[in-house]
Amino acid sequence: MAQKIALVTGGMGGIGTAICKRLAKAGYQVATTYSTPGKHEGWLQSMKDEGFDVFAVQCDVTSFESCQAAVAKVREALGPISALVNNAGITKDGRFQKMDKSAWDTVMATNLDSLFNVTRQVVDDMCEQGFGRIINISSINGQKGQFGQSNYSAAKAGMHGFTMALAQEVAKKGVTVNTISPGYIATEMVMAVKEEIRNQIISGIPVGRLGKPEEVAAVVSFLASDDAAFITGANIAMNGGQHMC
């Protein structure tokens, strides 16, 4: 049986790197995207030093044409994609009354429009193969909202609407579509926050700690497996009990 191919968008960040490693360990040949030329080389080398051979392709996830070209390169180099992890995302925080249009548009384009731009390129292959796993990385703030993040919260909430609709369309083709909504995860960005603020965040998490990127990656790996074939249209909240619904 041919090795399955996984594409992880935004795979060079803290959570993305953990996802790439875990999917590789699960037997996938992993490809990922990067946006800025040159910055990917050090990441690829560090992954190779750890024994992970990842294929990288430049892609602007806000551009349909760029996503089309990037997926074509992955397909040509590795084969059709069996698992897609829509992980690319950004924040541009600010109170709504002071938020300018560019902050809204940029976050919506990167976090929500990207789902259409990338998924549209792979879903036909998945349906033809009779196997596919589409996993969308949302956020706790898409479930409960967050002060200063009307753009981000709206985009992340929209991700799960996309998940539920597409899941119904492709279920009979052997393709599942699911959302994961992480809470506060101990990435470099979160760990760079002042310790007193970080401790305030942790005090609101019932399990008493931040999540680990590897824990998110473990859920991704399970959803990408054969064992998760009966799970589709779900939103898996992993936030240490900070928000329950």
**Is 138 within 8 Å of 220 (Cβ atoms)?**
no
Burial 167-189 (b: 16+ CB within 10 A, else e): beebeebebbbbbbbbbbbbbee
Note if 152 is an active site residue. Answer: yes
CA 70 to chain CA centroid, nearest Å:
17
> Of residues 28, 34, 152, 184, which has the active-site annotation?
152
Residue 50 CB burial class (10 angstroms; 0-12, 13-18, ≥19): exposed
Tokens at 178, concatenated: 């699911």
What is the DSSP code string of 159-192? HHHHHHHHHHHHGGGTEEEEEEEE--B--HHHHT
Q: Which region, left, alpha or beta, applies to residue 51 given φ > 0 means left and ψ of -120 to 50 means alpha? A: left
CA distance 217 to 15: 7
As annotated, the active-site residues are 152
